[in-house]
Structure 1
């Protein structure tokens, strides 16, 4: 391994230097594959010959061990763009996930945008996470930002653009919460069975176009609203009373004609849901009514076999999710129920009623298409805890009656 030490801009004639020239090294680091000429690495600014020699020996050791990485001037901002492209190409990533990653990168840019990757330290990265907490960002938001940051820097490490990963020991600070706070925050609002019955009756009596069927299916299956909007008639098995979930609806701009059908949220989300006769009959009635409209409109109907298709303007296109939210808010107001509830609240309602019916958590998770979901578990535990209290009270009342 060739190399040498020297003093830059050395002008002294005497043995003892008085001009202040610093020491430097030059070491051969390989051959340029294009030109065939040798490549050299140099560094200056050392106060003593011993310091320069130690640094040169470190470099030579890395070359011999195969751990040497050439310096890159690539900035965080530039590499984050490259990473997002690699990430989206290498995995079956849904558009919504890309939007989330892009947003999380945007949260890191104020701290690192024009910094070189190699100059970002563990302390700088941890300080950024801490500052995001001081700004009031939620734990889950900061966890997402950290997850994206880790993926970016680990890819840089994999591509040998870095020697160390600044995110390796990073952590997301969290405030300790009381049991009361945890119970209030982690159990979402949902409808009790009497409230659900009132809501569905209100949808039947006061609902607009296909409102009743929409909310009946959401309440009786616990499916996500995106899964519901994406349903096509081929997904319904009228003989075996099942609904197949194979896709979900994506339309961030709520533009009816610019929708996308994408793969479900997770692999577990692909599933068949068994439904009862009431749901099947309601679907049959809806299909018959839809067929009449489709035949009347002919070529003016966008026939892609969507179950929940628009029947006014842009005929046949799937309804947008915002439409479902707005319709639910209207019906909740008419029924005098909590207007803060959303279509996703019906998923939690389904969980609570299954728990009340003594269906196991494992069966509920399978029906909802979950591999693991803490909110679902918390709803289940909340309901079953109340059931246990009721059982205890009934036992006490029984014993008191014997006195």
Structure 2
């Protein structure tokens, strides 16, 4: 009769136990922890002794090769708090991560131990966000927002795997909204006559704020970049501005909000050339500011700052644009001025240049995109209409 080979110390063991569904088997094996102490790991639920033996051999092999990971019993909320504290991100980005974790992850998944989080649970969480995820209780979150929150969770759990806290990332086994489902809202752009119409109206009603609108429209700068521009960044003799930084609103629960300057979105500085008309407008604007207070035109002063010398609040600035746009539409006629967002002045700048045949690389550099490929992707709606022009130009070359 054959004998069962006894396992040596340190090799673990297999035990049988009874359940309502019949006999089951568990495995147990010792593991060496971070500080040199040992503990015994138990895993239950194997239907046959053979399955249990196979699982035990796999666990021992992973320990021998250094691949074994001690599943973390830490609740997800506690881990995410620790993870966020260790992130090196721009202040506005970190504040956004904290807000989304607090509002959308912790209430539903925060109490779940990390080793119990599954791809199925992540999928159910995302579906719940889409149905009833709004913090105000007024329905669900957009696919774009759900994908953004999922990306934060995925990044956090990827670090848990990297640092040996988890064996696998459960988000690898989940299905977030696709990039096409999470695409940004459709952009709108004014035509050249519509933009000129609005800027004339703004200049007649508030020349101070009109300068801000003109800079955004004529350079393609982002809102935060324009509001962080200082006179030392403006070379009126050479007709160019250096875009070096951006200002944003950082909101931390319990700490209120503050305006913080940081790098541009791409992290890179760039130089944007100005047309003669904008240079002349800046000369006149600076003269008016200087007549109010010399401090407003010093090299360190903000070009578009408040009369007190501080930053304009980015979100209030956007709301001011909405108010001015509504006033202009009433004055000029709604059909003369379609509704757009402040950010669409940037889209208008790019769309008009591309439609006029300006090389994509030039437009990309003005916008501060990391590559021309991004410009092509974002503004691909401009290109179909340009295809016919290209075909006609090619034919004209041969006909000539």
Is the pair's TM-score, using the shorter chain for normalization, greater than 0.5?
yes
Q: Which of residues 159, 165, 178 is equivalent to 1:155?
A: 159
The Cα shift of 1:167 comes to: 1.4
What is the aligned partner in structure 1 of residue 324 from structure 2?
331
What is the aligned partner in structure 1 of residue 67 from structure 2?
67
SS in 2 for 1:27: strand
What is the aligned partner in structure 2 of residue 307 from structure 1?
303
What is the aligned partner in structure 1 of residue 29 from structure 2?
27
Once the two structures are superposed, the pairs formed by residues 218-257 of structure 1 within 5 Å of their partners are 218-252=216-250
- Find out whether 1:207 has 2:206 as its counterpart: yes
Are the aligned partners of 1:206 and 1:331 in contact in 2 as well (CA < 8 Å)?
Answer: no
Q: Which of residues 112, 117, 121 is equivalent to 1:115?
A: 112
The Cα shift of 1:260 comes to: 1.6
- Find out whether 1:217 has 2:215 as its counterpart: yes
Are the aligned partners of 1:243 and 1:272 in contact in 2 as well (CA < 8 Å)?
Answer: yes
In structure 1, distance between residues paired with 2:290 and 2:87: 43
What is the aligned partner in structure 2 of residue 353 from structure 1?
352
In structure 1, distance between residues paired with 2:122 and 2:236: 55
What is the aligned partner in structure 2 of residue 78 from structure 1?
78
**Contiguous gaps of at least 5 residues in structure 2:** 1-7, 133-139, 330-335, 395-400
What is the aligned partner in structure 2 of residue 318 from structure 1?
311
Q: Which of the two has higher C-alpha Rg?
A: 1
Once the two structures are superposed, the pairs formed by residues 79-158 of structure 1 within 5 Å of their partners are 79-88=79-88, 93-105=89-101, 106-135=103-132, 136-158=140-162
In structure 1, distance between residues paired with 2:367 and 2:33: 58
TM-score w.r.t. length of structure 2: 0.77
1:18-44: per-residue Cα shift (whole Å, max 9, x none)?
xx998766534337746xx65444557
In structure 2, distance between residues paired with 1:64 and 1:316: 65
In structure 2, distance between residues paired with 1:371 and 1:237: 24
The Cα shift of 1:266 comes to: 1.0
What is the aligned partner in structure 2 of residue 293 from structure 1?
292
Mark the CA change 1:391 to 1:150 in structure 2 (over 3 Å): closer, same or farther.
closer
Q: Figure out how many residues of one structure are paired with residues of the other and give that number.
A: 366
SS in 2 for 1:125: helix
In structure 2, distance between residues paired with 1:32 and 1:221: 56
1:172-192: per-residue Cα shift (whole Å, max 9, x none)?
245989xxxx9xx86522211
The Cα shift of 1:352 comes to: 1.9
SS in 2 for 1:267: coil
The RMSD of aligned alpha carbons is 3.9
1:210-230: per-residue Cα shift (whole Å, max 9, x none)?
122111111110111111110
Of the structure 1 ranges 368-377 and 329-338, higher mean CA displacement relative to structure 2 is found in 368-377
What is the aligned partner in structure 1 of residue 397 from structure 2?
none
What is the aligned partner in structure 1 of residue 170 from structure 2?
166
1:353-372: per-residue Cα shift (whole Å, max 9, x none)?
21232102222111101135
The Cα shift of 1:108 comes to: 2.7
